């Protein structure tokens, strides 16, 4: 009896402790919510300080509380391109801001299109006779593109520059599948639709290589042109043709080599850089050595709200993989985006609709739902303009077809007009283990597709017919949109990807321009002179803001990361694991017909992380409790 009472007291104590813990967490969360969110009036005279410790994206990912609990990795901070551009351009005419400072030590990268927009905003600050200072330890292609637009680019004494250019390798699984005796049933239309090649070949087809070679060449030329225009004295030839000889000429000192090549201006650590900024904007008396007076992005944006005058133009963002359901932001959930457009149409108070696309495509069904919603908006006599970001391929082009006009950038990747489906089956692998299948069918399609017993010829024929029918619909939509015949579209479709310049010549896009140009054109079509954009679904959720604060990068942890070439290799090993997981998911995910551009997905914004099997916080806590 005494033992039972003791156990009961322990249980009550545990219950009371958990209740107290939950109350403490609640009040701490409430305090954090009220104090950590930026508010107007927090802008200080000094620098606009942008420590970009994450990737630049078109649309910030919505954090899932459950995923945070079970994911080992702290989620990256993400910076929306339009937020950075608005802040930097605002600093150009703001008397309180004496300089713009970018710290790229932990930069997560961004697409060429996004970085070009940010670079143009930096140029506006310099045109206003204000300095723009940038620092990093190791500059790679993305950070070099931004640093080119700086008035002073600093590199750490133990850092340097590594320009790699676009390109790389893709994984191919045909030999592995053969060894495992797994059949990958491929259904596709398009000579260049290489998204399925990893499951049917051991290497890239000549057609796929030709398409990629052309696109990579265009991207590489555009990148070099951007850097050279911003920094005419930069010498990219030795850096990109013989990096070993280039480094040897400076005695192996990568930082000195970067200065000699004109890619950076000065060498110094973070403290020296901070002292230089303090000379311009003033030192922070409450900070340590190298601290300077500054305002960060959140506070600055809160102090400078977006304009609200004139007629509203709705902007909907289709960013990330197009998937079925309500996924996103961060992924383009077909139902979620279609609902946003339908709600905007029902309100009837928008002068026009601009669709911002930055997606490699995905589910045909989800893409069609988005396209149909855009078409319904257009039927209400609302002008529709598409603005393509870094990537608007396959399903990303599908949703673009209702547009009255399509804007793209020279570095935009588009096209990939093709369809595929992959269904694995394991009858040979099971037979090797002594497992066989048998049964009774009432029709040739009974029990199909049967991934254990195999697909019947009739099931394969029906699936291929479905894929061909969807491709025909895709081509028809493009033909109607672009004023071409289906045969003309088919000749430039076949799953091939195109750079923005070539796509313009082929008539897949109408003109070059960014989101600002698309908005201005939409206002022109709507015949309104005063207008402002309204980003559908972009209202900030206070709970999301709290999660971002709680899950954001820890400063000490950030400073502890390595930033040399070896660290770059380590990060790419993690990216390789994510790619393997994504490819396995694509093979085994049971997805329907896909209008997806696998070969160009890596040409957009950096991967936000897809690994699903890493140890989570709760598991780590359980280990500690053992």
Q: Which residues contact 81 (CB under 8 A, 6 or more apart)?
A: 56, 57, 58, 110, 114, 117, 118, 389
**Secondary element (H or E) of residue 389:** strand 384-393
Beta strands 294-296 and 361-363: pairing type?
Answer: unpaired
Enter the pTM of the model: 0.84
Domains located in the chain, CATH noted:
46-167+213-303 (3.90.226.10)
Provide the token pair at 4.
Answer: 């039972």
The whole-angstrom distance between residue 8's C-alpha and the CA centroid of its chain comes to 53
Instruction: Count Cβ atoms within 10 A of the Cβ of residue 430 and give its class: 0-12 exposed, 13-18 middle, 19 or more buried.
Output: middle
Q: Residues 411, 116: contact at Cβ < 8 Å?
A: yes
The DSSP-derived string for 68-112 is HHH-SSPPPP-EEHHHHHHHHHHHHT-TTEEEEEEE-TT-----H
Q: Which amino acids are annotated catalytic? A: 193, 394
Cα separations (Å) of 8 from 3, 12, 13, 17, 18? 9, 6, 9, 14, 15
Provide the token pair at 230.
Answer: 């911003």
Q: Residues 113, 603: contact at Cβ < 8 Å?
A: no
What is the rounded distance in angstroms from the CA atom of residue 395 to the CA atom of residue 363? 7
Residue 574 pLDDT = 53
Query: Which of 138, 150, 131 is CA-nearest to residue 277?
Result: 131
Q: Where are the beta strands (DSSP E) in 556-606?
A: 594-596
Beta strands 361-363 and 594-596: pairing type?
Answer: antiparallel
Number of C-beta neighbours around residue 352 at 10 A: 27
Task: List the chain residues with pLDDT less than 70.
Answer: 1-9, 11-12, 15, 17, 23-41, 63-76, 539-592, 598-626
Q: For residue range 281-327, what is the model confidence (pLDDT) as tens digits?
A: 999 998 899 999 999 999 999 998 888 889 999 999 999 999 999 98
What is the rounded distance in angstroms from the CA atom of residue 97 to the CA atom of residue 295? 9
What is the rounded distance in angstroms from the CA atom of residue 57 to the CA atom of residue 132? 22
């Amino acid at each position: 009896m005494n033992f039972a009472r003791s156990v009961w007291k322990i249980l009550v104590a545990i219950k009371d402790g958990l209740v107290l813990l939950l109350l403490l967490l609640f009040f701490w969360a409430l305090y954090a919510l009220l104090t950590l969110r930026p508010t107007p009036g927090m802008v200080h005279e000094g620098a606009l300080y942008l420590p970009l410790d994450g990737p630049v994206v078109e649309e910030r990912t919505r954090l899932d509380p459950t995923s945070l609990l079970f994911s080992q990795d702290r989620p990256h901070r993400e910076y929306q391109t339009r937020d950075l551009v608005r802040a930097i351009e605002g600093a150009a005419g703001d008397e309180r801001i004496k300089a713009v400072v970018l710290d790229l030590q932990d930069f997560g990268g961004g697409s060429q299109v996004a970085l070009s927009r940010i670079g143009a905003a930096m140029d506006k600050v310099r045109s206003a006779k204000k300095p723009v200072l940038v620092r990093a330890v190791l500059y790679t292609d993305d950070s070099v593109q931004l640093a080119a637009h700086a008035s002073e680019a600093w590199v750490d004494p133990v850092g340097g520059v590594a320009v790699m250019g676009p390109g790389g390798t893709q994984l191919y699984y045909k030999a592995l599948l053969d060894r495992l005796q797994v059949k990958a049933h491929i259904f596709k239309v398009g000579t260049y639709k290489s998204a399925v090649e990893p499951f049917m070949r051991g290497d890239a087809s000549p057609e796929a290589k030709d398409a990629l070679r052309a696109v990579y060449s265009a991207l590489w030329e555009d990148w070099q042109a951007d850097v050279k225009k911003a920094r005419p004295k930069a010498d990219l030839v030795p850096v990109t043709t013989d990096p070993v000889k280039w480094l040897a000429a400076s005695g192996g000192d990568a930082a000195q080599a970067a200065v000699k090549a004109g890619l950076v201006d000065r060498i110094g650590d973070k403290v020296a850089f901070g002292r230089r900024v303090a000379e311009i904007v003033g030192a922070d008396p409450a900070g340590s050595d190298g601290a300077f007076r500054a305002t960060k992005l959140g506070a600055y944006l809160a102090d400078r709200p977006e304009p609200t005058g004139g007629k509203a133009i709705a902007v909907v963002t289709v960013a990330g993989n197009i998937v079925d359901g309500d996924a996103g932001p961060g992924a383009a959930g077909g139902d979620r985006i279609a609902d946003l457009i339908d709600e905007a149409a029902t309100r009837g108070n928008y002068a026009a609709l601009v669709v911002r696309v930055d997606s490699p495509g995905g589910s045909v069904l989800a893409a069609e739902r988005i396209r149909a919603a855009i078409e319904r908006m257009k039927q209400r006599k609302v002008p529709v303009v598409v603005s393509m970001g870094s990537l608007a391929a396959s399903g990303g082009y599908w949703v673009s077809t209702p547009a009255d006009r399509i804007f793209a950038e020279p570095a935009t990747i588009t096209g990939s007009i093709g369809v595929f489906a992959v269904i694995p089956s394991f009858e040979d692998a099971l037979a090797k283990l002594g497992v066989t299948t048998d049964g009774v069918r009432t029709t040739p399609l009974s029990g199909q597709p049967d991934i254990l017993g195999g697909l019947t010829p009739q099931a394969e024929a029906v699936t291929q017919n479905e894929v061909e029918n969807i491709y025909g619909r895709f081509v028809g939509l493009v033909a109607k949109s672009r004023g071409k015949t289906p045969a003309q579209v088919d000749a430039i479709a076949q799953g091939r990807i195109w750079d923005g310049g070539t796509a313009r010549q082929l008539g897949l896009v109408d003109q070059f321009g960014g989101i600002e140009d698309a908005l201005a054109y939409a206002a022109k079509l709507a015949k309104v002179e005063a207008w402002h954009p309204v980003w559908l679904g972009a209202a900030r959720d206070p709970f999301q803001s709290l999660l971002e604060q709680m899950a954001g990068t820890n400063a000490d942890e950030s400073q502890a990361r390595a930033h040399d070439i070896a660290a770059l290799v380590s990060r790419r090993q993690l990216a390789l694991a994510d790619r393997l997981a994504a490819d396995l998911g694509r093979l085994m995910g049971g997805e329907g017909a896909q209008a997806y551009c696998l070969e160009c997905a890596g040409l957009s914004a950096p991967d936000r992380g897809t690994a699903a099997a890493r140890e989570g916080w709760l598991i780590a806590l359980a280990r500690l409790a053992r």
